[in-house]
Structure 1
Amino acid sequence: MQHGKYRFIAGFLALPLAVYAIFVISPFVQAFQIAMTDWSGLKGAAKYIGFDNYDKLVHSDEFWNALKHNVIMLVLVPIVTLALGLFFAFMLNVGGRSRRGAVVTGVRGSKFYKFVFFFPQVISITIISVIWFNIYNPDPSDGMLNSLLGAVGLDSLQSAWLGEKSIALACIMLVMIWANVGFYVVLFSAAMASIPRDIYEAALLDGAGRAHTFFRITLPLLWDTVQTGWVYMGIIAMDAFALVQIMSVNMGGPDGATDVVPLRLYQTAFRDSQFGYASAMGIAMLIVTLLFAVLTMRFARRERIEF
């Protein structure tokens, strides 16, 4: 009976696993193979060169500049995004004014606010990039941000934004945070809804404030969700291709201030026709992403709290 059950399960899994192996695992394996060649992308033109692409990568200032920007995103974007997601979700679900009888309530209209926060998730990343590109437009008459600053008498704060080397990367990271924070508001709200209200009400009866309740009750009970979200946001931060390609000046400018590894990979492969070198960049990205995921899961691991 058990043997027949396993054969039945294997029969259902065979086709999906085969499709996954062909379209996901196989390209990864081929990337390792291509990274060992000098290949222009033309069939039959690949030349085996061993680890020369990796040696070139290690000595490339452009690659290290792009990787530095990815690491900055990897550190800052997940922290800010998850912190804002937790804060907004907590205030929407536990931040209501009514405390009669130590009853925990959400804010009035919380469902509407969740919809507003989540709305950027249903918009294409391309549309988001175009919208914010126009918001950052340095022309005071066309750029929304500079127009707004001029209208309220803050002309001194007007800037070229994406054309300013010192703040261009920060402007793009701000868009990345704005585009993703709504997802975590909804995710953390769903996780908070599973926490028994009795726990909050008991804490309120003991005189606990909102800050104390958040750090002693909400955050520990949501830690598994936060940990998973951290890895997911790290993967997003290691990408950033679409935002940088569309929003940045001359794709990665000004003067390489917003260059990232995925954009460098794209240009190396499809502009310079160096597919072997680009594959080596892809392998480097894979290693950094896996290292980040492993370290996050290792050092953010806590004892699971049951409730």
Structure 2
Amino acid sequence: MQHGKYRFIAGFLVVPLALYALFVIWPFIQAIFYSFTNWTGLSPEFKMIGLDNYSRMLEDDVFWKALQHSLVFAVVLPLVTIGLALFFAFMINVGGRRRKGAAVTGVRGSGFYKIVYFFPQVLSIAIVALLFKFAYNPSDGAINSALKAVGLGSIQPEWLGDPDLALICVMVVLVWSTVGFFVVLFSAGMASIPRDFYEAALLDGANRFTTFFRITLPLLWDTVQSGWIYMGILALGAESFAVVHIMTVGPSGGGPDYSTIVLPLYVYQKAFGPGQAAYATTIGVALLLVTLLFAAVVMRLGRRERLEF
């Protein structure tokens, strides 16, 4: 009977695992293999060159700039996005004042706020990037026009054209476009926490600050940790690539003067450059290692005893 059970389970797993290995694991193996070659990407011919691509990468100043910016994204974006999402979700679900018949409730209009916060998720990241690119336009963009309208016409930053501001402008867009998803995620988690816990805390005289850090955050910690990893992967991957590529100046984004270049965009630039496919896969391997290291660090630092209710 036991033997038949394992054969039944294996029968269901063999096809999904085979597809996963073919479309996920195998491309990783290919990328690592090509990083040790001089493959141009334009022909099937190549030869092994050992660690030459890795030596070149370590001496590449643009690579180190891209790595630095990607690490800033991986640290700052989850911190800001998760922090804002937790605050908004807490206020929407349990941060309101006591009302008749309900000791624990969200702020007034919480249903409307959920829609407003989630709205950016409906838009494609490409559309969001284009809208903000127009808003950041220094000559007739919405932001500088608003500054003129309130009498601050003397303050007209270049925004995306300023190397000191461009990276911050990009991060603002990423936070705006992703915070709504985590508000909904954390709201779902908070809705599953028994209201008795909050009511008992209120009877003991706990305020919102104490309630959040003593009840909400500990019971929501697993969801927060998963959200932190997910947001970090977004910041290191496709989301940062799309926004930087579309919004920033330069032949293929990353400007001005590489002030917004990130690893995914640098991989793209080298992959579609003349005969640099192997070097692009080398940078891709570095990006894979950074992503795995980020996830491992977050899981290690966020490890704590699981609370059940």
TM-score clears 0.5 = yes
Secondary structure of the corresponding residue to residue 157 of structure 1: coil
Q: Aligned AA for 2:124?
A: S
| Residues 109-188 of structure 1 mapped to structure 2, 5 A cutoff | 109-139=109-139, 142-188=140-186
Asked whether the equivalents of residues 35 and 278 of structure 2 are also in contact (C-alpha less than 8 Å), the reply is: yes
Aligned to 1:197: 195
What is the deviation of 1:96?
A: 1.8
Deviations 1:145-200 (A, max 9, x none): 11111111122332110001101000000000011100010000000001000000
Q: Summarize the alignment of residues 14-163 of structure 1 with structure 2, pairs less than 5 Å apart.
A: 14-99=14-99, 103-139=103-139, 142-163=140-161
Asked if 1:296 corresponds to 2:298, the answer is yes
CA contact (8 A) 1:102 1:205 kept: no
Aligned to 2:227: 229
Query: Is there any run of 5+ residues in structure 1 with no aligned partner, and where?
Result: none
- TM-aligned CA distance change 1:171 to 1:91, over 3 Å: same
CA distance in 1, matches of 2:297, 2:224: 15
- Conserved 8 A contact 2:42-2:275: no
Q: Which amino acid aligns with 2:291?
A: T
Which amino acid is 1:131 matched to? L
Give yes or no for contact 1:102–1:204 (8 Å, CA) kept in 2: no
Report the equivalent of 1:254.
256
Residue pair 2:121, 2:178 contacting (<8 A) in 1 also = yes
Q: Quick check: 225-234 or 147-156, which moved more?
A: 147-156
TM-score scaled by structure 2?
A: 0.96
Aligned residue identity for 1:214: F
Please state how far the C-alpha of 1:118 moved relative to its aligned partner: 0.9
Kept in 2: contact 1:146–1:158 (CA 8 A): yes
1:102 touches 1:201 (CA, 8 Å); kept in 2?
no
| Cα distance between partner residues in 2 of 1:21 and 1:303 | 33
- How far does the alpha carbon of each residue in 1:107-151 deviate from its partner, in whole angstroms, 9 at most, with x for none? 233222112111111211111111111111111xx3011111111
* Structure 2 counterpart of 1:113, one-letter code: Y
Q: For residues 223 and 168 of structure 1, what CA distance do their matches in structure 2 show?
A: 33
- Residues 231-290 of structure 1 show CA distances to partners (whole Å, capped at 9, x for unaligned) of 111111112101000000111111111011111111111023311111110110111111
Whether the 8 Å CA contact 2:81–2:179 is kept in 1: the answer is yes
Distance 2:254 2:53 in 1: 22
Distance in 1 separating the partners of 2:63 and 2:213: 40
The amino acid of 1:232's aligned partner reads Y
Shift of 1:3: 2.1
Root-mean-square deviation (CA, aligned residues, Å) is: 1.3
* 2:288 counterpart residue number: 286
Q: Aligned letter for 1:288?
A: V
| Deviation readout 1:56-75 (Å, 9 max, x if unpaired) | 11111110011111111111
Residue in 1 aligned with 2:268? 266
Whole-Å separation in 1 of the counterparts to 2:274 and 2:214 = 54
Matched residue type, 1:24:
V
When normalised by structure 1's length, the TM-score is 0.96
* Counterpart for residue 10 of structure 1: 10
Name the CA distance, whole Å, in 1 between partners of 2:188 and 2:227.
13
Distance apart, 1:101 and its partner CA: 7.3
- C-alpha distance in structure 1 between counterparts of 2:70 and 2:155, whole Å: 27
Cα distance between partner residues in 2 of 1:153 and 1:8 = 73
Letter in 1 for 2:287: M
Q: Distance in 2 between matches of 1:207 and 1:102?
A: 17
8 Å CA contact retained: 1:162, 1:168 = yes
Stretches of 4+ aligned residues off by more than 4 angstroms? 99-102
Structure 2: 5+ residue stretches without partners: none
Give the % identical residues.
Answer: 62
Residue 301 and residue 156 in structure 1: after superposition, are their counterparts in 2 closer, same or farther (change >3 A)? farther
